[in-house]
Amino acid sequence: MPAIAPHDGPLLELNGVSRQFGSQVVLRDVFFRVNRGETLVIIGESGCGKSVTLRLLCGLLDPNLGSVDFEGRGWRARNDREQRREQLRFGFLFQGSALFDSMSVFENVAFGLRQNTQLKLSQIERIVRERLNEVGLPYSICEKKPAQLSGGMKKRVALARVLALTPEIMLYDEPTTGLDPVMTDVINELILQTRKQRPITSIVVTHDMSTVKKVADRVVMLHPAPRLLPGEPQVIFEGTAEEAFASADKRVSQFVRGEAGERLRELALAG
């Protein structure tokens, strides 16, 4: 992997970013930054653009308006070859794990190494073993197919696959969805462990407040674009997890505490 180039300022930055699909506006004039080495957690109601934001941050999507800057330079300013090279610095843990059903665990974890490196099989086997061990799975699991794994095991195999390429920036899309409380805490611990073991920047999208409390250095909350007032920013909160729980904005405090409050009344009026 190329060495990280010196850069002053945010590692990643959204500058006035808007994104829509057809007539559906998902993001509207969004501004926020991601600092090198931090764990930023993005929260908000379903449909507010959290997962779209992850794809914009790593250049998988382009904004309709505004720019997404990586190390001070917009993704659009890079040619296809440069984009591909820089995207290899990102690891993406997808919400549904996105394992290849027809492949074994070994083939899944080794996939990125085979596609993007010239390593020998013995080197790949060593890395697969190390990464599986890192996420708490035995090497003997290698012959199993994803269908034979529990939800928590699938998440850990997917994380091992991402870590095999030693990413510098980790993107986690709802990493604990569908998991029981114990396995949720296992995944949260792995997010913390990943950061402790290597210099890494993490962006986590989640609805899970236990994840927010445990891993976040900083929290950004988005509000659904269709419910914004004219000129109102879509980022309605930015600060620590403790500040989110103490926020005077009812939209923030009710979301993080899981209280229906004003939202229930909004739904009743809409009906």
Q: What is the pLDDT of residue 4?
A: 43
Name the DSSP letter for residue 46.
T
Say yes or no: domain 8-89+169-187+199-271 is CATH 1.10.10.10.
no
Residues with Cβ within 8 Å of 225's Cβ and at least 6 positions away in sequence, in order, are 25, 26, 27, 28, 48, 49, 234
Q: What is the pLDDT of residue 269?
A: 57
Q: What is the pLDDT of residue 264?
A: 58
Q: What is the pLDDT of residue 97?
A: 85
Residues with Cβ within 8 Å of 20's Cβ and at least 6 positions away in sequence, in order, are 26, 27, 64
Q: Are 220 and 232 in contact (CB under 8 A)?
A: no
Nearest to 205 by CA among 72, 92, 60: 92
In the chain, where the domains are located: 8-89+169-187+199-271, 101-166
The pTM score is 0.89
* Cα(56)–Cα(53) distance, integer angstroms: 5
Residue spans of alpha helices (H) in the chain = 50-57, 80-87, 105-116, 121-134, 151-163, 181-197, 209-215, 241-245, 250-257, 261-270
Q: What is the pLDDT of residue 199?
A: 87
Name the DSSP letter for residue 11.
S
Name residues of the chain where pLDDT drops below 70. Answer: 1-8, 260-271
Q: 12-28: per-residue pLDDT in tens?
A: 999 999 999 999 999 99
Q: Which residue has the tokens 């009026």?
A: 269
